Amino acid sequence: MSCGACALLALTQPQLTEFDNTLAPGPFGPPRLLALARGAVLFRQGDACRAVYAVRTGGLKSEVVSADGRHQTVGFHLCGELVGLAALGLGRQIGEVMALEDSQVCVLPLRHRPDPMALPALLQQRLLAELGEALQQAHQLQILLGCSSAQVRLCSFVLELSRRARLQGLSATRLRLPMTRHDIGSYLGLTVETVSRMLSRLHDARVLEVHRRELRVLDAPTLQRLSATPERERMAGRHRPQHTGPPALPGWEAVQAGSSGPGHAAGASAA
C-alpha cells in the first residue's frame, strides 16, 4: 500500500476552524511507520487509545481475552485496513491486536482524545464506514458460528476475504493468507484438522487452488453456492425447506463443525 494513495494522510493536515477559517491542528500528529515482528503485540486489551493504525504490509489479528486467560480470535486486519478506530469513542482498546507475520503499520498518534462529534467530516465519514464494516463482519461471524456446517463457515470466510481484497483494489481471486490454519480455526470455531481437510476438499474439487498460504479462487459460483445459509437465501428472496443442509459437491459429505481428521492435500497442509 503506497503512502501517496492513503486517505489517512488528509487526517493529519491542519483543519479550518468553523468560525474564522483559520487553520488549527487536527487530532492526529505526524504519522510514523512501525515494524512488527511476527507475534508482536500492537496493543493489549484495556490499553488507553493513543493512536489509530493502518496496515501497510502483512496482517494482524484481533483477540479478546476472557477472565480466565483464554484467547479467542475475533477478527483479522489486512493490508490497507484500519485498526483501533472503535477505541476513539471508548478511550480504551476492546481487544488485543498482534502481528500474524512480519508487518508494517502506519501509526497516527492522537494529540488528545477527540470528541467524536467534533472530528473533521472526513474522519467522521471514515469512522462511520469502518464501524459499519465491523458490524457487518460481526453479524456475518454470528451467523456462521450458529451454523453447524464447516463447509459453510470456511467457504463464507474465503468469500469475505475476497470481498475485502476487492475493496482495497487488490485481486479478488488471488488471495494470500497471513493467518495460519490455527488462526482460521479459532475464528470460525473449527479444529485445525477440519480447516485443513476442508481446504483439501475444495482444492481437489477445483473450487480453490491451495498452496500453503496462497489461495486462488477457480470457481466462484460454486464457492458461493457452497457458502449458502438459510438466512442468506431468505435475504436473496429464495426459499428452501427447513432442516436441509447446505449444498455439497457430488460425493462430498458435509463436514460438521469441530470434527477432526488429517488433511490430505499437500498444498492445503497447515502453515
Verify that 156 and 221 share a domain, yes or no: yes
| More reliable by pLDDT, 25 or 257 | 25
| More reliable by pLDDT, 188 or 270 | 188
Instruction: State pLDDT tens for residues 77-112.
Output: 988 888 887 787 778 888 899 999 999 998 988 877
Chain centroid to CA 242: how far?
31
- Comparing 36-40, 52-56, 68-72, the range with the smallest average pLDDT is 68-72
| Domain contains 132 | no
Averaged pLDDT of the chain = 76
| Domain contains 130 | no
| Domain contains 123 | no
Verify that 109 and 213 share a domain, yes or no: no
Q: Tell me how far apart the 2 most distant CA atoms of the chain are, in Å.
A: 71
Instruction: State pLDDT tens for residues 164-200.
Output: 888 888 899 999 999 999 999 988 989 999 999 999 9
Q: How many domains does the chain have?
A: 2
Residue among 168, 139, 179 at smallest CA distance from 271: 179
pLDDT category of residue 70 using cuts at 50, 70 and 90: confident
Q: How many Å is the Cα radius of gyration of the chain?
A: 20
The boundaries of the domain holding residue 97 are 3-116
Do residues 256 and 148 touch, judged by C-beta distance below 8 A? yes
| Domain contains 50 | yes
| Domain contains 134 | no
| Whether this model's pTM surpasses 0.75 | no
| Domain contains 184 | yes
Verify that 110 and 147 share a domain, yes or no: no
Verify that 53 and 148 share a domain, yes or no: no
Give the domain CATH number at 42.
Answer: 2.60.120.10
Verify that 167 and 262 share a domain, yes or no: yes
Q: How far apart are alpha carbons 166 and 156 in whole angstroms?
A: 15
Verify that 170 and 238 share a domain, yes or no: yes
Verify that 20 and 63 share a domain, yes or no: yes
Average pLDDT over residues 221-236: 68
Average pLDDT over residues 19-34: 68
Grid cell in block for residue 212: 500453503
Give the domain CATH number at 264.
Answer: 1.10.10.10
DSSP labels, 59-91: -EEEEEE-TTS-EEEEEEE-TT-EESTTHHHHS
- Of 116, 133, 167, the last residue of a domain is 116
What integer pLDDT is reported at residue 12 of this predicted model?
56
| Domain contains 131 | no
| Domain contains 133 | no
